[in-house]
Amino acid sequence: MESTNDKLCKHCGKPVVATLGSYDVQEQMHWLCFHLLFEHEGAPDRPCDDPSCPWWHIAAYESKLSQIGIDPKQVISEAIDEKWKPN
Ligand SMILES: [Zn+2]
Ligand SMILES: [Zn+2]
């Protein structure tokens, strides 16, 4: 069966959908696969110094939430309840 998207990531082999517009710029990979292979420095599960790093973005959100008096862990806990707990 013909897929609607035959652009596969050269790194992980899964279809590229969300960042298909920059598929060739990302060396025919997912944006995240490209970031982790070529831009991200240090452990893959820690923030790096690239301003596009998703871990760094999460850290920035956590920092700002804490500054305005909201516990980031509580935000996630409430989001988990909303998404997975039955009403
Ligand atoms: Zn990939
Ligand atoms: Zn990074």
Domain ranges (residues) in the chain = 1-39, 43-87
For ligand 2, the distance from its centroid to the CA atom of residue 58, given in whole angstroms, is 11
Residue 15's beta-bridge partner residues? 8
Q: What value does the mean pLDDT of the chain take?
A: 92
What integer pLDDT is reported at residue 6 of this predicted model?
A: 80
What integer pLDDT is reported at residue 3 of this predicted model?
A: 52
pLDDT tens profile 30-69: 999 999 999 999 999 999 999 999 999 999 999 999 999 9
For ligand 2, the distance from its centroid to the CA atom of residue 34, given in whole angstroms, is 10
pTM of the entire structure? 0.80
For ligand 1, the distance from its centroid to the CA atom of residue 19, given in whole angstroms, is 11
